[in-house]
Structure 1
Amino acid sequence: MLLRLMFVLLIALNIAVAAWLLLGESGTHAVDPVDKGVPKLKLLAEIPAPASTAPAVSGSAATSALAAAAGAATAPAPAMERSTAIATPPVAPAATSAKPLPRAPEKKAPAETPAAPALLAAAPSANAPTSAKRSYRCLAIGPFTNQVDLRSMRAAIAARTVRSRQRQEQTSESHGWRVFLPAQATRDLALAQARRLEAKGIKDYFVVTATGELQNSVALGLFHDPANAKKRRDEVIAAGFPARMAERTEITPVWWLDVVVPDDANADVRRGIRSPGASAKPTGCF
């Protein structure tokens, strides 16, 4: 029953719509989308060219006018039922025949004038040395037999030296010449040789008993003058004994003072040496 009722209503609704379409107004009212009081939008290309007598517009004025027109075109329109177009006032384009503004003449830099010879000569050089370069030399002063003399010398020339140092060396020092008979194998043989010397009239001798290379030898004398030593040796040889002559040396420590001095102070340093046997000689620098 319900289905039949809905079917009848649907048919009635279709009949009503068909009747409205057939019997209703078929035309529509034309509506003008543009209000009567608003001017129409025109492009710049549609604007007629201005007369030749029109004043030229500078490039900056044309740019500002175009910017104003663009801003007016993009500005939101007031709320209305229909969208409206915004008309822009005609803007005259910049004349191509406008002459550029005259540029101010550039000022030329004054030409550099050469300095006077007198001024150039008076100006000092920034890299010129203030004093001549000094040269130095290295000296070895000595030898000193003790450190007391070395320290005194070092203090005396300290004001004239750039730097100094001390060093110790071992040296052979001569203590005269000795005349002797070669060592025997035993002490008894050395004593028998001494008795034979005395029998020949040779005095001033003694038998060495100390250990060493001269043990069991017969010493015939110690001489500072080598001529006297040679005379003594020849005398003993003439008596029939194999006498020998040799220099007596000892190893002793000595000290040297190495200094670096300017050339102009070299003579003063040499004159200041007062220690006996000490002198100054060139040496390697340090």
Structure 2
Amino acid sequence: MLTRALLVLLLVLNLGVATWWLLRGPPPKAAPAPLPVGAQRLQLTSEAAATAIHAAAAAGNGSDALVEKPAAPTTTATAAVEAPAAETPAAEAAVPPAPTAQCLSLGPFASTGAVAQAQVQVKPLVERVSVRKQEPSRGRGWRVFQPPSADAAAADAAAQRIAAAGFSDYFVVREGAEANSVALGRYGSEAAARKRADALVAAGIPAQAAPVGGEGDATTVYWLDVAAAAGFDAGKAQTLVAATERRQLDCRSLR
């Protein structure tokens, strides 16, 4: 019985302590420490928010949360800067094209006297003329020719026979070491030159083939390099200066 009574007493005491703990009031807040004159008390952000909530509740607005007004966005105005329009350069005046010219070499001439005389003869017909010296060299091709005749009349008669045989590529040499001979062509290979010579011989023409720069050609020769207008008659000029050959030139190579 005594034990049961003690258990009941302990139970009643526990219930009493629990009831007192639940029904007790909040503990009194500690008084803040006194601040120096002119100083303000520091306050945490959470404390400031709690103070604002309690103030709103006391005012009777029934609001449980503090609503902050959003800050107005800041708009930065950017001035549009237009790049100045690029100035268009004035169109250049059209330059009329230079008249088409033809450039060629006339020769070869065996001496300075012969080329000087030819230069005087051709100068009125062309825009520019210069003398070019060519040193002897070997192995630059093959030529076909008829050896010199006794005189100019015999050379002309030989040329007529060549034309009558059906050959048009020939030229009577009037001056130089091979005066009164007939030039019958120049070729890059021995085979082509000999084929041409054989055809002439078969037609009764005493033609020969020889390398350019061979015996009789191993001397210094001179050429006339000329630049003329488009209507220039190259064949007439070649006949005028008694040149055995004429060759096309690049006008940019003229001095």
Instruction: Give me the TM-score of the superposition, normalised by structure 2.
Output: 0.30
Whose Rg is larger? 1
